[in-house]
């Protein structure tokens, strides 16, 4: 999967939310078709990079060889908004099988009914989903008991670090707790007068992949209570998180000094990015970054480890934030049984999942594939496999508002780190009220 760009989410999520509103009665398809009859399926996906498209096309060829009666017409580089417009309209031009890079929208896909419930198909095929998929990945593909999607590869986030800078600072291993993290970041920070020339680790939430929800996952928070009400103000780990991020910034010169350094960075995907140019000694990123670093050949040695965890949760070290691609069957499809054959192959066939994961350097999304000896043996990649398998790793919980609550949390986090939010307790209570009001509006 192409590296996610959280800064682009709000507009996308708004568009999807608008498209999904009023979709309680999606076009009705059929699961009465014969999956052995000749048929052409339409599969829409978001992959666009040449290597990714090549990998998905190879996957389709493998499927068609096993199912000669089913031809698959793929359409790539399709946004969630475009998919949902087509699903609302229904008809022959709509896709049969769909995928999305945005796990935050699963709650809307399931709640709106535009993606078909997959539990009947899983039962018919004798597939025990809890034995096939890791718990965290299974959780972000369902909403309130409706399994309308399945994982199609995953992304795990960890800590990239500059081994040369570590050796120079006398640091012998990556930090495992937040206190070690803060101490190491301070040692690794370089200053010239009042200017920070290199940050040990930049916690600023607007940096590249540093979306606050990804950092917050190391605390294992609960966003909602059992009734679906926001509970960030009641969650003590929320305050611990913001306090620790502030202390981490202060140990390196403070938020504003780090922001000035961030402004000197080039584009995330370029050779002028903060980590590539040595201006960051440690950096949060996903598993795809390792392949990019190998190809770019920076002038320093680097390694990967899990992100540190709070000191009082040291036994959870190895955890990380998980997300990934999800795939499902359009409710409007008149070939749902044939569509299920394709979806089942893409998401549950071990050889296929391993081959696809190796091809695009993403984390496989089934338990069997995660343990496969055929997986890429690169040590940095295997670090992310261990993060994906860690029982404490966390994904964002689905919501009927899609990612709207995530955007609200991000905006609030920007205010906290910049000092605009003066009363954290009051602000968190207002954030919970905003999230609950958005949820109520979406449900009505």
**Residue-wise pLDDT tens digits, 18-28:** 344 444 455 67
The C-alpha atoms of residue 262 and residue 273 are separated, in whole angstroms, by 10
For 291-310, the DSSP string reads HHHHHH--SS-EEEEPPPB-
More confident of the two residues 17 and 323: 323
Domain ranges within the chain, ordered by starting residue: 6-155+322-389, 157-316
Provide the percentage of residues in the chain whose pLDDT is more than 90: 82
pLDDT at 27: 61
pLDDT at 194: 80
pLDDT at 23: 46
- The answer to whether residue 44 scores a pLDDT higher than 70 is yes
**Residue-wise pLDDT tens digits, 320-363:** 999 999 999 999 999 999 999 999 999 999 999 999 999 999 99
Cite the DSSP H helix spans in 371-423.
Answer: 379-389, 404-418
pLDDT at 11: 36
The C-alpha atoms of residue 283 and residue 261 are separated, in whole angstroms, by 14
The predicted model gives 387-404 an average pLDDT of 92
When the pLDDT of each residue in the chain is averaged and rounded to a whole number, the result is: 92
**Residue-wise pLDDT tens digits, 256-277:** 999 999 999 999 999 999 999 9
* Of 1-10, 100-109, 221-230, 339-348, minimum mean pLDDT range: 1-10
Radius of gyration for the chain, computed over Cα atoms and rounded to the nearest angstrom: 22
Can you say whether the dihedral through the CA atoms of 89, 94, 95, 96 is positive or negative?
positive
pLDDT at 89: 83
- The answer to whether residue 425 scores a pLDDT higher than 90 is yes
* Residues 3 and 287 sit within 8 Å (Cβ to Cβ): no
pLDDT at 26: 57
**Residue-wise pLDDT tens digits, 134-159:** 999 999 999 999 999 999 999 999 99
The predicted model gives 200-223 an average pLDDT of 97
The C-alpha atoms of residue 320 and residue 312 are separated, in whole angstroms, by 16
Candidates 21, 16, 142, 35; CA nearest to 84 is 16
pLDDT at 438: 93
Name the band, by pLDDT with cuts 50, 70 and 90, for residue 9. very low
For 160-183, the DSSP string reads EEEHHHHHHHT--S---BHHHHHH
With a CB cutoff of 8 Å and minimum separation 6, the contacts of 269 are: 3, 292
pLDDT at 283: 97
Provide the percentage of residues in the chain whose pLDDT is more than 70: 94
The predicted model gives 21-41 an average pLDDT of 76
pLDDT at 428: 98
**Residue-wise pLDDT tens digits, 159-189:** 999 999 999 999 999 999 999 999 999 999 9
Angle in degrees, CA 163, 208, 76, rounded to 5: 115
pTM of the predicted model, to two decimals?
Answer: 0.90
pLDDT at 71: 98
pLDDT at 442: 82
More confident of the two residues 364 and 24: 364
Question: Count of alpha carbons within 13 Å of 333, Cβ hemisphere only?
Answer: 28
pLDDT at 31: 83
pLDDT at 22: 42
CATH topology of domain 157-316: D-Maltodextrin-Binding Protein; domain 2 (3.40.190)
CATH topology of domain 6-155+322-389: D-Maltodextrin-Binding Protein; domain 2 (3.40.190)
Name the band, by pLDDT with cuts 50, 70 and 90, for residue 310. very high
The predicted model gives 117-126 an average pLDDT of 97
Tell me whether the CATH fold assigned to 6-155+322-389 matches the one assigned to 157-316.
Answer: yes
């Amino acid at each position: 999967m192409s590296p996610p760009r959280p800064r682009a989410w709000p507009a996308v999520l708004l568009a999807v939310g608008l498209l999904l509103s009023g979709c309680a009665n999606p076009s009705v398809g059929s699961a009465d078709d014969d999956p052995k009859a000749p048929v052409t399926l339409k599969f829409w996906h978001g992959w666009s990079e040449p290597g990714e498209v090549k990998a998905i096309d190879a996957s389709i060829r493998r499927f068609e060889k096993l199912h000669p009666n089913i031809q698959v017409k793929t359409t790539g580089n399709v946004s969630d908004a475009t998919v949902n417009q087509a699903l609302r309209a229904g008809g022959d031009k709509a896709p049969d099988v769909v995928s999305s890079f945005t796990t935050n929208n699963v709650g809307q896909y399931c709640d709106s009914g535009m993606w078909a419930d997959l539990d009947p198909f899983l039962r018919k095929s004798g597939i025990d989903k809890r034995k096939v998929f890791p718990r965290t990945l299974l959780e972000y593909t369902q909403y309130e008991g409706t399994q309308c999607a399945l994982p199609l590869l995953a992304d795990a986030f960890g800590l990239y670090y500059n081994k040369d800078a570590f050796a120079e600072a006398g640091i012998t291993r990556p930090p495992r707790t937040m206190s070690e993290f803060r101490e190491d970041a301070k040692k690794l920070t370089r200053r010239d007068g009042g200017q920070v020339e290199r940050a040990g680790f930049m916690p600023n939430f607007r940096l590249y992949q540093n979306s606050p929800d990804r950092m917050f996952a190391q605390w294992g928070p609960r966003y909602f209570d059992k009734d679906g009400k926001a509970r960030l103000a009641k969650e003590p780990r929320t305050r611990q998180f913001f306090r620790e991020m502030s202390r981490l910034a202060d140990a390196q010169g403070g938020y504003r000094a780090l922001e000035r350094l961030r402004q000197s960075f080039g584009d995330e995907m370029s050779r002028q990015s903060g980590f590539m140019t040595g201006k960051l000694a440690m950096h949060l990123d996903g598993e795809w970054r390792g392949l990019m670093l190998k190809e770019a050949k920076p002038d320093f040695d680097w390694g990967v480890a899990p992100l540190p965890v709070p000191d009082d949760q040291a036994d959870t070290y190895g955890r990380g934030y998980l997300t990934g691609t999800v795939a499902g069957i359009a409710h409007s499809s008149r070939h749902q049984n044939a569509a299920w054959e394709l979806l089942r192959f893409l998401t549950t066939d071990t050889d296929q999942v391993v081959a696809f994961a190796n091809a695009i350097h993403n984390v496989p999304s089934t338990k069997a594939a995660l343990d496969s000896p055929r997986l890429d043996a690169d040590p940095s990649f295997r670090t992310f496999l261990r993060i994906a398998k860690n029982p404490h790793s966390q994904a964002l919980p689905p919501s009927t508002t899609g990612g709207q609550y995530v955007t609200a949390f991000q905006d609030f986090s920007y205010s906290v780190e910049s000092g605009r939010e003066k009363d954290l307790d009051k602000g968190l209570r207002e954030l919970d009220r905003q999230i609950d009001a958005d949820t109520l509006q979406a449900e009505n």
